Amino acid sequence: MRPGHVAAVSVVAAVLGGVLVLAVAKAAGWLDPSTSTTVVREPAAAGLASPVVVAKPLAGNGFSPARIYRERSAGVVTIFSLFSANGTPDANAGQGSGFVVGRDGTVLTSAHVITTAGEGAAAIAPAHAVYVEFPDGDRVQARIVGYDVFDDVGVLRVDPRAHPLAPVPLGNSSLVVVGQPVAAIGSPFGNVDSLSVGVVSAVHRSIPSLTTNYDLVDAIQTDAPINHGNSGGPLFDSRGRVIGINAQIRSTGDTSGFEGVGFAVPIDSAKRSLAELDAGGKVHYAFVGITTEDLTPSIAKKFGYAATRGALIDGFANGDPAGKRAGLRAATRLEVFRGESVHVGGDAVVAIAGIPVRNAEDLVRVVAERLVPGETATFTVVRGSRRVNVPVKLDERPQ
């Protein structure tokens, strides 16, 4: 673990030498009267055209941890990141996990394993040198292709001639259900090539980030033991397909240990990050500049909203954000209702670009995953008893 990492926080990154960066947000953008086109990004596909993964899902419907380990552990690697200027080992060295996804030497990991994300620096910097160690102990140098600090995804590439590669197949995290068995392989506390098993405890979790003001939605919660050093490693389903990247544990007090609650970045989000990083070295997220909370049937009835589900607009980001320019309306007062504070009097977003919005997480999900910066999307909002369509030009999310 790199020095300066404070273990007394309630959410800690599952990496030796890295702190958590998980990402996705509360959105923002502004009105462009001359534009009326909405571009909707297609949801992440179940597979990738590039890099090519030759491994096939394991046959059968049973869950065999021994078989998953036997067939997939060769594709899981340990990652060593050096942050000294001359690339020599020092107290700032970090260690995490990763996995090979292509015959071209592409390796997926967590962004915080290969950068200073989460260390409190004014600007995020990549490691000066990164090495990938295979299960047989052979270590090769890797090149950083790029990193997405919002989704906590890092992409490396090694020379495919430097070591035999065993790519693992990527699954579809949108099909993951609570209760299904999972297996994690990684290097907890430097114990390379370790297996742990459990079940999916929850899906569609929204996780706070220690490094940005944005949250990650759709995270997979698991009770499979995840500890420091597991970060960046794969979470497999019963057929040996990667459904998530292990990234975060939640603990209490200053223990910083695993207490039955771990989280993985959904592989569908990681696929998009991989594709955009591979194409241009950066992942682009749309941004609206509003903060929201859930509209529920009880709140709607109490405060006169003509919709039972949606995202109540609490307020706007600092400055002159897009949502405000577009004419969206924020809450005008704070009320206490049934033991909780509720911001009311503003718009309730019920759809974006025709896509239903049932809560605050839906709004983040649609803006971050389906919309494109620079385009104009129609926000359908409820203002008391009326429905209003508001065109909003989407900005790009700031760091």
Give the DSSP letter string of 41-87: PPPPPSS-SSS-----PPSSS---HHHHHHHHGGGEEEEEEE-STT-
pLDDT, position 127: 92
Give me the mean pLDDT over the 270-275 stretch: 95
Sequence-separated (6 or more) residues with CB below 8 Å from residue 399: 124, 149, 212
Amino acid at 361: E
What pLDDT is attached to residue 17?
A: 36
Q: Poorest-confidence range of 47-51, 168-172, 226-230, 283-287?
A: 47-51
Active site residue 218: no
392 CB-side CA count, 13 A: 35
- Does 346 or 385 have the greater pLDDT score? 346
Q: How confident is the model at residue 120 (pLDDT cuts 50, 70, 90)?
A: low
Q: How confident is the model at residue 57 (pLDDT cuts 50, 70, 90)?
A: confident
Q: What is the pLDDT of residue 163?
A: 97
Tell me the backbone φ, ψ of residue 163, rounded to 5 degrees.
-165, 145
**Cβ atoms within 10 Å of 337's Cβ, excluding its own:** 13
Average pLDDT over residues 20-41: 35
Residue 239: the pLDDT is 95
> Which tokens hold the place of 359?
């809560």
Quote the CA–CA distance of 89 and 82 in Å, as a whole number.
Answer: 6
Most confident of 5-14, 250-259, 342-351: 342-351
Q: What is the reported pTM?
A: 0.82
What pLDDT does 248 receive? 79
Catalytic residue, candidates 5, 81, 97, 112: 112
If pLDDT is split at 50, 70 and 90, which confidence band does 16 have?
very low
Position 41 scores a pLDDT of 58
User: 323-366, pLDDT tens digit by residue?
Assistant: 999 999 999 999 999 999 999 999 999 999 999 999 999 999 99
Beta-ladder partners of 352: 355, 379
- Give the model's pLDDT for residue 345: 96
Predicted confidence at residue 295, as pLDDT, reads 97
Instruction: Work out the average pLDDT over 251-259.
Output: 54
231 is catalytic: yes
Residue range 69-77: mean pLDDT, rounded:
96
| Marked catalytic residue, from 110, 231, 251, 256 | 231
Q: Any idea of the CA torsion for 223, 228, 231, 235, to the nearest 10 degrees?
A: -30
For 339, left (φ over 0), alpha (ψ -120 to 50), or beta? left
* 307 torsion bin: left (phi>0), alpha (psi -120 to 50), beta (else): beta
Given the residues 97, 148, 151, 152, the one annotated as active site: 152
pLDDT tens digit sequence for 277-306: 999 888 999 999 999 999 999 999 999 999
Structural contact between residues 372 and 284, judged by C-beta atoms closer than 8 angstroms: yes
The per-residue pLDDT of the chain, averaged, comes to 83
Mind listing the pLDDT tens digit for each residue in 146-198? 999 999 999 999 999 999 999 999 999 999 999 999 999 998 777 788 899 99
244 beta partners: 266
Tokens 């544990």 sit at which residue?
Answer: 249
Tell me whether residue 385 is one of the annotated catalytic residues: no
140 sits in which H/E element: strand 139-148
Token pair 């990083």 in the structure block, residue: 277
pLDDT at 91: 57
Tell me: pLDDT of 35 over 50. no
Q: Measure the CA–CA gap between 234 and 27, rounded to whole angstroms.
A: 29
Give the model confidence (pLDDT) of 122-144 as tens digits: 688 899 999 999 999 999 999 99
* Token code pair at residue 135: 């299960």
The 3 state secondary structure assigned to 288-348 is EEEEEEEECHHHHHHHCCCCCCEEEEEEECCCCCHHHHHCCCCCCEEEEECCEEEEECCCE
Which tens digit of pLDDT belongs to each residue from 85-106? 766 666 567 889 999 999 999 9
pLDDT at 49: 45
